[in-house]
């Protein structure tokens, strides 16, 4: 048994000697095979290598070339060690000189592979060994990119262990046609995970077509205890920044004189706390036609983070200031000085399902003015108080963002002293508990003039998604408002997002006026002069559209049994019905109507009837099919005519039938003039440039009658005129006429001129000898004509205004 054990032991010793001898004899080939395999795994097949020395305490390699095109080169690698030191945990010594690596990062040409670890994740352990004592010189990495070639020159050393610490000093100089920077990393660490150091970036610049930075630098110092960060200080500054982007015809450019980020973080208990300041100085932003000048940003942030969460909030309000805004359009933004960020809370937390983001942001924009620089604009300047804008929301892994955007305490000041105040908007972004998507309100819409045109109003509204669950969204709008206690205006509509179909309806609900109750002056103060108003008014307009545009539109306006008094005017039973069948090309069906039982302002008009329609031309034209009224026991009617707002002038013809002569003379108020008979005729009227003219208007008595004129004033004035004049005055006191006519003329420079011509006699004067009288009269009849002119101008402006709105 002893002999057998000796033989086995001798054989084992012999095998070990042979093995060691073989390894030593073939050490160069073994080392070369190992190096070749490692380089091949990284995409660099070995081409050549020199191994001057392989011993029990050193390894020396030189002139290594690898890669298809010698992308990997190493002039010299020397590794030295001592077995006793290794057993004591001390590192090896490594000298690297002349390392050159070329890596192609262009699309489809990446030539560097990183081997994947075969160790299961559960078996990976973190340990902190001493680093090799390294001396790195004359090393470079060449990167080929689509933007150009980059050279990364590396040098530095890792020192020997001194006082239980090891120091690192590495530098990297990056150079390229479009980029350069110098980076220095200094640190000292020990085996307990204590690390203190600094990273410095200097002389940096970037020059790409889409991004340019004239200079950037950064300095960050850090302290770790047991691999846990204790303090981090950083100061990063960029200057001369320019960012360019172009997509089709859209182009944007951002330029900043300076961007800086500085801060300090320190450990408190199990979390890192600190302050960070972000600043932008003198920025310019151009996006297509929009241009922002002298942009400045200051955001002071407080940060807290631990392994499972990150929290950020403002230490004090942030500021964004602007010098000027140019839009490139007639509508410009003026006097906007920026905004204040009152709150910006952000929390990023990690749980079993992943990360969850929560935020609360509140900003207060400064007041601004919207100015329309087009000449003749109806809204040349609008002043806006944006109020407070807030955004609250959260985002969880694999879920949609949920949030609420709210605007409160906003106001808009329109021209003519119209102001909307206490404006609020709430927009729900996937967070609504019901189907409400948005809600909005105008707390007060009022006219600030001493004599306001309308009473103060308020409005509320909401948008809801009324589609069934899982179906494409269908949005429903409901908006209403009015004066306190009476919401008389409503706006409703629907819109289907998938089909693009929608409809909208604006409505004034039926308003019932009664003396002692609701009066027009309660809604429109200028109408307070209207007294004892009774009747009903309602109106609506509607619109339908789809992806191809407006499909149909229409409107209706109705007044029923409206009666009122105003000073000397009294109106009874006004009825109006207007149905518009197209709002885009304004038009209506025939036989729209206006009727008034009686209107009396000193000249009573009765049984007023107007039948008309609107022709859908460009611009629209008003076609009056029939217009008539009773006056002074007769009838006045308008020959069918068309009012064209594009025409230089409009000619209309008034027909007069069966007007009582005595009532007519009472109307024109000539002292002492009376008579009997009936008048017929016509009055041609021309309307041009808001001026009414009459040419050759003619009224004539349809049968003989009596004309009486007796005036003490006239007798006294003409008493010395002679015998013939006295006979004339006697004759007209009881003048039996066979012919009587009135000729009317009015130029644009003179008042109405009425010439009375009569043929007849007085049986008691000169034996009833007939003679003709021609008398020029001054009358009040042009009041009627002025009323006609005002009505024409109103319809003309309405039609022209509708054309402009299109």
Model pLDDT, residue 422: 96
**H helices within 606-711, ranges in order?**
661-668
- Rounded to whole angstroms, the Cα distance separating 416 from 380 reads 11
Model pLDDT, residue 593: 92
In a domain, 311, yes or no: no
Summarize pLDDT for 185-208 with one digit per residue, the tens.
999 988 888 899 999 999 999 998
Summarize pLDDT for 758-782 with one digit per residue, the tens.
899 888 888 888 888 887 765 555 4
In a domain, 604, yes or no: no
| 184 Cα distance to chain centroid | 48
Banded pLDDT at 687 (limits 50, 70, 90): confident
Q: What are phi and psi of 667, to 5 degrees?
A: -70, -45
Least confident of 14-18, 369-373, 491-495: 14-18
- Rounded to whole angstroms, the Cα distance separating 382 from 371 reads 6
Q: At which residue do the structure tokens 């000027």 appear?
A: 324
Model pLDDT, residue 796: 47
pLDDT value at 713 more than 70: no
Contact between 534 and 515 under an 8 Å Cβ cutoff? The reply is: yes
In a domain, 681, yes or no: yes
Model pLDDT, residue 714: 60
Model pLDDT, residue 23: 45
Q: Which residue, 493, 565, 556, is CA-closest to 533? A: 565
List own/partner pairs for 206-213 with CB under 8 A and 24 or more apart: 206/178, 206/179, 207/177, 207/178, 207/179, 208/147, 208/178, 208/179, 209/244, 210/243, 210/244, 210/245, 211/242, 211/243, 211/244, 212/240, 212/241, 212/242, 212/243, 213/238, 213/239, 213/240, 213/241, 213/242
Q: Which residue, 417, 317, 322, is CA-closest to 367? A: 322
Summarize pLDDT for 38-58 with one digit per residue, the tens.
777 777 787 787 778 777 788
| 440 Cα distance to chain centroid | 16
Contact between 254 and 241 under an 8 Å Cβ cutoff? The reply is: yes
Model pLDDT, residue 121: 41
Contact between 320 and 297 under an 8 Å Cβ cutoff? The reply is: yes
Bridging pattern class, strands 338-351 and 179-189 = unpaired
Summarize pLDDT for 261-283 with one digit per residue, the tens.
999 999 988 889 999 999 999 99
In a domain, 786, yes or no: yes
Model pLDDT, residue 124: 41
Banded pLDDT at 147 (limits 50, 70, 90): confident
pLDDT value at 715 more than 80: no
Which is more confident, 724 or 370?
370
Bridging pattern class, strands 309-314 and 641-643 = unpaired
Model pLDDT, residue 29: 66
Model pLDDT, residue 132: 86
Banded pLDDT at 786 (limits 50, 70, 90): low
Model pLDDT, residue 341: 95
Which is more confident, 59 or 798?
59
Model pLDDT, residue 123: 43
- Rounded to whole angstroms, the Cα distance separating 112 from 102 reads 9
pLDDT value at 19 more than 50: no
pLDDT value at 723 more than 70: no
Summarize pLDDT for 692-707 with one digit per residue, the tens.
888 899 999 999 999 8
Which is more confident, 438 or 11?
438
Structural domain range at position 761:
621-805
Which is more confident, 597 or 729?
597
- Rounded to whole angstroms, the Cα distance separating 212 from 448 reads 52
Q: What is the number of H-type helices and E-type strands within the chain?
A: 8, 47
Summarize pLDDT for 62-74 with one digit per residue, the tens.
888 888 888 888 8
Q: What stretches of 602-734 adopt beta strand conformation (E)?
A: 605-615, 621-631, 634-638, 641-643, 650-660, 673-675, 678-688, 691-701, 705-709
- Rounded to whole angstroms, the Cα distance separating 284 from 781 reads 69
Summarize pLDDT for 377-386 with one digit per residue, the tens.
766 789 999 9
What is the DSSP-derived secondary structure letter of residue 130? P
Q: Which residue, 687, 720, 706, 705, is CA-closest to 795? A: 687
- Rounded to whole angstroms, the Cα distance separating 388 from 278 reads 23
Average pLDDT over residues 534-560: 94
In a domain, 54, yes or no: yes
List CB contacts of 309: < 8 A, sequence separation 6 or more. 347, 348, 349, 350
Summarize pLDDT for 483-499 with one digit per residue, the tens.
999 999 999 999 998 99
Contact between 628 and 594 under an 8 Å Cβ cutoff? The reply is: no
> What percent of the chain lies above the pLDDT cut of 70?
85
Backbone region of residue 353 per phi and psi (left: phi > 0; alpha: psi in -120 to 50; beta: other values):
alpha
List CB contacts of 324: < 8 A, sequence separation 6 or more. 292, 293, 294
- Specify the DSSP element, H or E, that contains 422: strand 418-429
Q: What are phi and psi of 276, to 5 degrees?
A: -130, 135
Which is more confident, 398 or 368?
368
What is the tally of structural domains in the chain? 2
Model pLDDT, residue 110: 54
In a domain, 484, yes or no: no
**Top-confidence range, 68-72, 142-146, 181-185, 749-753:** 181-185
Domain boundary among 139, 157, 177: 177
- Rounded to whole angstroms, the Cα distance separating 104 from 109 reads 6
Contact between 185 and 170 under an 8 Å Cβ cutoff? The reply is: yes
Residue 759, beta-bridge partner list: 739, 772
Q: Which residue, 357, 323, 361, 366, is CA-closest to 343? A: 361
Banded pLDDT at 170 (limits 50, 70, 90): very high
Banded pLDDT at 22 (limits 50, 70, 90): very low
Which is more confident, 380 or 629?
629
Model pLDDT, residue 310: 92
Residue 631, beta-bridge partner list: 605, 634
In a domain, 705, yes or no: yes
pLDDT value at 320 more than 60: yes
- Rounded to whole angstroms, the Cα distance separating 710 from 712 reads 7
Average pLDDT over residues 467-483: 91
pLDDT value at 610 more than 70: yes
Model pLDDT, residue 92: 83
Q: What are phi and psi of 616, to 5 degrees?
A: -80, 50
State both tokens at 476.
């429903």
- Rounded to whole angstroms, the Cα distance separating 361 from 389 reads 8
Buried b (16+ CB within 10 A) or exposed e, 482-521: bbeeeebbbbbbbbbeeeeebbbbbbbeebebeeeebbbe
Average pLDDT over residues 250-260: 90
Instruction: Compute CA distances 2 → 5, 7, 10, 89, whole Å.
Output: 5, 9, 12, 41
**Top-confidence range, 94-103, 137-146, 224-233, 483-492:** 483-492
Contact between 320 and 295 under an 8 Å Cβ cutoff? The reply is: yes
Which is more confident, 7 or 680?
680
Average confidence score pLDDT of the chain: 84
Residue 552, beta-bridge partner list: 544
pLDDT value at 685 more than 60: yes
pTM of the model: 0.74
- Rounded to whole angstroms, the Cα distance separating 174 from 155 reads 12
Q: At which residue do the structure tokens 């076609």 appear?
A: 623
Model pLDDT, residue 49: 79
Average pLDDT over residues 660-687: 83
List CB contacts of 790: < 8 A, sequence separation 6 or more. none
């Amino acid at each position: 048994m002893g002999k057998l054990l000796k033989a086995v032991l001798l054989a084992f010793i012999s095998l070990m000697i042979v093995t060691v001898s073989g390894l030593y004899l073939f050490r160069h080939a073994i080392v070369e095979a190992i190096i070749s395999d490692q380089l091949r795994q990284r995409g660099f097949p070995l081409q050549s290598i020199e191994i001057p020395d392989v011993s029990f305490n050193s390894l020396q390699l030189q002139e290594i070339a690898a890669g298809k095109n010698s992308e990997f080169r190493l002039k010299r690698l020397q590794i030295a060690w001592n077995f006793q030191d290794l057993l004591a945990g001390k590192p090896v010594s490594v000298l690297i000189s002349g390392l050159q690596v070329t890596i192609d990062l262009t699309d489809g040409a990446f030539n560097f592979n990183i081997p994947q670890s075969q160790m299961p994740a559960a078996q990976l352990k973190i340990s902190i060994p001493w680093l090799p004592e390294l001396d790195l010189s004359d090393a470079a990495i060449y990167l080929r990119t689509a933007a150009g070639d980059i050279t990364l020159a590396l040098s530095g050393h890792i020192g020997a262990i001194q006082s239980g610490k090891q120091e690192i000093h590495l530098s990297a100089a990056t150079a390229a046609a479009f980029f350069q920077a110098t980076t220095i990393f200094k640190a000292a660490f020990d085996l307990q995970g204590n690390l203190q150091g600094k990273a410095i970036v200097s002389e940096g610049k970037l020059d790409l077509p889409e991004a340019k930075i004239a200079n950037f630098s950064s300095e960050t110092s850090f302290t770790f205890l047991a691999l846990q960060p204790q303090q981090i200080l950083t100061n990063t500054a960029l200057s001369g920044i320019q960012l360019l982007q172009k997509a089709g015809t859209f182009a944007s450019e951002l330029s900043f004189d300076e961007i800086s980020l500085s801060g300090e973080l320190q450990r408190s208990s199990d979390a890192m706390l600190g302050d960070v300041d972000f600043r932008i100085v003198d920025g310019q932003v151009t996006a297509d036609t929009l241009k922002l000048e002298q942009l400045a940003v200051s955001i002071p942030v407080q940060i807290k983070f631990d392994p499972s969460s990150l929290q950020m909030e403002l230490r004090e309000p942030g500021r964004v200031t602007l010098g000027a805004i140019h839009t490139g359009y007639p509508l410009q933004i003026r006097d906007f000085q920026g905004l204040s960020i009152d709150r910006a809370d952000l929390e990023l937390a990690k749980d079993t399902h992943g990360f969850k983001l929560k935020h609360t942001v509140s900003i207060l924009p400064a007041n601004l003015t919207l100015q329309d620089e087009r000449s003749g604009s109806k809204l040349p300047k609008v002043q806006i108080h944006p109020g407070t804008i807030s955004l609250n929301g959260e985002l969880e892994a694999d879920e949609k963002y949920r949030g609420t955007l709210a605007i409160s305490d906003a106001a808009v000041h329109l021209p003519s002293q119209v102001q909307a105040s206490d404006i609020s908007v709430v927009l729900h972004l996937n967070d609504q508990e019901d189907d409400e998507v948005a809600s909005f309100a105008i707390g007060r819409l009022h006219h600030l003039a001493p004599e306001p045109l309308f009473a103060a109003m308020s409005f509320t509204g909401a948008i809801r998604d009324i589609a069934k669950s899982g179906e494409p969204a269908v949005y429903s709008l409901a908006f209403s408002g009015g004066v306190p206690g009476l919401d008389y205006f409503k706006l409703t509509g629907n819109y289907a997002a998938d089909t693009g179909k929608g409809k909208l309806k604006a409505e004034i609900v039926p308003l019932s006026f009664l003396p002692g109750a609701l009066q027009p002056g309660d809604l429109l103060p200028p109408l307070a002069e209207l007294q004892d108003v009774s009747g009903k008014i309602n109106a609506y307009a509607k619109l339908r559209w789809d992806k191809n545009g407006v499909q149909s539109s229409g409107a209706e306006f109705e007044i029923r049994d409206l009666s009122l008094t105003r000073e000397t005017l009294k109106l009874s039973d006004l009825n109006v019905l207007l149905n518009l069948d197209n709002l885009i090309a304004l038009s209506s069906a025939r036989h729209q109507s206006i009727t008034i039982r009686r209107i009396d302002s000193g000249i009573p008009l009765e049984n007023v009837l107007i039948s008309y329609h609107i022709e859908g031309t460009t611009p629209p034209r008003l076609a009056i099919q029939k217009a008539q009224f009773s006056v002074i026991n007769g009838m006045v009617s308008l020959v069918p005519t068309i009012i064209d707002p594009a025409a230089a002038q409009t000619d209309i013809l008034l027909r007069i039938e069966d007007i009582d002569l005595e009532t007519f003379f009472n109307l024109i108020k000539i002292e002492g003039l009376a008579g009997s008979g009936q008048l017929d005729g016509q009055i041609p009227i021309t309307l041009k440039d808001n001026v009414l003219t009459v040419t050759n208007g003619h009224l004539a008595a349809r049968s003989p009658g009596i004309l009486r004129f007796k005036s003490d004033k006239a007798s006294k004035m003409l008493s010395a005129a002679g015998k013939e004049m006295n006979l004339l005055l006697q004759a007209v006191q009881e003048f039996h006429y066979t012919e009587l006519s009135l000729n009317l003329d009015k130029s644009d420079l003179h008042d109405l001129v009425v010439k009375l011509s009569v043929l007849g006699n007085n049986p008691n004067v000169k034996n009833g000898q007939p003679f003709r009288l021609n008398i020029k009269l001054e009358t009040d009849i042009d009041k009627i004509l002025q009323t006609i002119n005002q009505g024409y101008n109103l319809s003309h402006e309405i039609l022209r205004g509708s054309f402009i709105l299109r």
